[in-house]
Chain A
Amino acid sequence: MRPGLGVAAVALATLVFLVLPIVIVVIMSFSSAASLQFPPPGFSLRWYHSFFGDPRWVRALTTSTLLAFASSIIALVLGSAAAYGIVRGRFPGRGLIDSNFMAPLILPTIVIAVALYLFLAKVGLLGTAAGLVASHVVLSVPFVVLVVGVAIRSFDERIEQVAFTLGASRRQTVLRVLLPNILPSLASAWILALIASFDEVIVTLFVAGTYQTVPKRMFNELVLEVNPTITAIATILIGLSVLAIGAIGLITARRGGLLGTMLGR
């Protein structure tokens, strides 16, 4: 049965609704007007100059980038180790631990933000770089556990067992057999963790103290005044996201896309 005209219209409307705001933001970021107006009276790069010319924005961008790299790499290492234990381990309570790692995906972010705020205050890490990185690790680790867990689960355990019988230690088996075979999933997981950290605003607002990340600054700026510089930043963020998704698509293309990888193809 072919979908009717009505279905097609709804699909088109949804697509327009999703894409149109993004398109408008991108167009407006190249506006020459001093205030937000659409359509723009002319085009210029003034808002990009305004962004990169402002040391506070550049500092925020540097902080965001460092934070994203630090937290995503830590999340990748810890999350992959956790995924291996959850999938291959034979201890009781694995399901519980698995759910615990997934919790940040399901719980409202504001709840996690409050919880992290109280906890970090208690241990004296509130407003510190270490506390901020740890918070972002908590938020990005579910993506790693999910993607890497599925990759390990779909890798035939007998191949690892054969490696054991051939004399390889568990460490040798993980490094020489498992990791090379799940490299694409590791890369996807890392990129997802990177984006999760780079986009994050709610938890950062609670725990970052005086640290300014790009999303946090955007949020604070919007509270004070509507400055078109925001559209330039938004366009940069959109560009980065598109690049990241494209990269994941390329990495996992052979396996039927990220969704296919996550569903064990």
Chain B
Amino acid sequence: MGAIEFDGVGKRYGAVHAVHDLSVAVAEGEFVTILGPSGSGKTTILSLVAGLVPPTAGRILIAGRDVTNLEPQERRIGLVFQSYALFPHLSVHGNVAFPLAVRGRPRDEIGTKVAAALARVRLAGLDRRRPAQLSGGQQQRVALARAFVFEPDILLLDEPLGALDRKLREEVQVELKALQRDLGITTLLVTHDQEEALSLSDRVIVLDHGRMQQVGTPDEVYRHPANRFVAGFLGLANLLEGTVEAGGVLRLASGEAVACDPRGRPPGARAAGVVRPERMRLLPESAGEGLAARVRQTVYLGHLQRWHLETADGRELVAAATDGVRAAAVGEAVRVAWSAEDVWLLPDESGEAAAPRPALAAMAPVA
């Protein structure tokens, strides 16, 4: 069992930086997710750890051992691809036995370990089947059993739930988390699904354009995003831009004052605050607090109801609440309010349009 350490790791393809100067450590037994959009370099990071591609800069350590120049065979890692990559010509038993067989382990040891691994993923009794005769969820569990049966130091999962339908995915998430905890194995998972990242991980690494944007616990990255990209990628975010004033006030361009914690910003500084939709309260027009807005669109999600609002000066806001809390029809005039502690001032940015991504990406686009 061991930790993973990235020390200034970079991977360049010609002029393109797939991964740029990554330095982060994964603790022993920790479940860490690399979260990013497609093309952000997250799968490249996994390939670098697995030894499938060599880095162009930096070192990678697994369990304190520098593996940068080691072949995949020598790294003691269990890898699960999104496509599962099962051996089509081998039975379930043959697939799970493979890592033990190539190590020349005795037959009875292989039998015992394979049986235990298959029981662990609830596939006992299916060991004679071929991968083509299994459902997607079963194939995924075979791939998982094959990846941990030989007791590797770390587990690498490349969008392992991506090919499953939603209901199954939620079940497997719970199982995967339990399995990881039981085995106590350091796990690095790659996904573009923010819900998956938040629900499974001890910590999340948010990646964009090959650069680490933030690393933190799920609630840290969700509630206290480091920048606009993180705020926008981990769900809908309302972005409020303005100037910090004395007494914990953010003065918006439209003139309204928003209560906030300035976190040491001097008065006069430009700042951008993030408020999550579920922190926004929808009030009747007659309420004495909050911003005046008009309902532009409502989105019903079953467990959640969402309102897309437009303020008098044309700014778009999103509010959300548990179903049945309050109803507001399209076109209705309302007021929207929130508490000072629900405003998170982005630490990295002045509030100017400095972000590489357009602010709209974080401004809760109508999906």
Binding site for B on A (CB under 8 A): 156, 158-159, 161-169, 172, 176-177, 180-181
| CB-defined contacts of B52 to chain A, threshold 8 Å | 161, 164-165
Query: Of B50, B147, B150, which is within 8 A of A161 by CB?
Result: B50
Q: Which residue of A is nearest B76, CB measured?
A: A167
The distance from the CB of B146 to the nearest CB of chain A, in whole angstroms, is 7
The CA of A74 and the CA of B81, in the complex, are separated in Å by 37
The CA of A176 and the CA of B87, in the complex, are separated in Å by 10
The distance from the CB of A218 to the nearest CB of chain B, in whole angstroms, is 43
Main secondary structure of the interface of B (DSSP, over half): loop
Choose among A156, A164, A177 the residue with the greatest number of B CB atoms under 10 Å from its CB: A164
The distance from the CB of B162 to the nearest CB of chain A, in whole angstroms, is 14
The verdict on A164 contacting B87 (CB below 8 Å), with A158-B81, A172-B102, A176-B102 known, is no
B150:A159 contact, CB within 8 angstroms: no
Is the CB of B99 closer than 8 A to any CB of chain A? yes
A166:B89 contact, CB within 8 angstroms: no
The CA of A158 and the CA of B102, in the complex, are separated in Å by 18
* Interface members, chain B 126-161 (any A CB < 8 Å): 146-147, 150, 156
The verdict on A156 contacting B89 (CB below 8 Å), with A165-B72, A172-B102 known, is no
The distance from the CB of B155 to the nearest CB of chain A, in whole angstroms, is 11
The CA of A158 and the CA of B103, in the complex, are separated in Å by 20
Binding site for A on B (CB under 8 A): 50-52, 71-73, 75, 77-79, 81, 83, 85-89, 98-99, 102-103, 146-147, 150, 156
Choose among A166, A167, A172 the residue with the greatest number of B CB atoms under 10 Å from its CB: A166
B77:A163 contact, CB within 8 angstroms: no
- In the A-B complex, list the 10 residue pairs whose CB atoms are closest, starting with the nearest: A166-B99, A164-B72, A165-B79, A168-B102, A158-B85, A162-B85, A180-B89, A159-B85, A165-B72, A172-B102
| CB-defined contacts of A168 to chain B, threshold 8 Å | 73, 98-99, 102
B85:A166 contact, CB within 8 angstroms: no
The verdict on A167 contacting B85 (CB below 8 Å), with A161-B52, A162-B79, A172-B102 known, is no
| CB-defined contacts of A165 to chain B, threshold 8 Å | 50-52, 72-73, 75, 77-79, 156
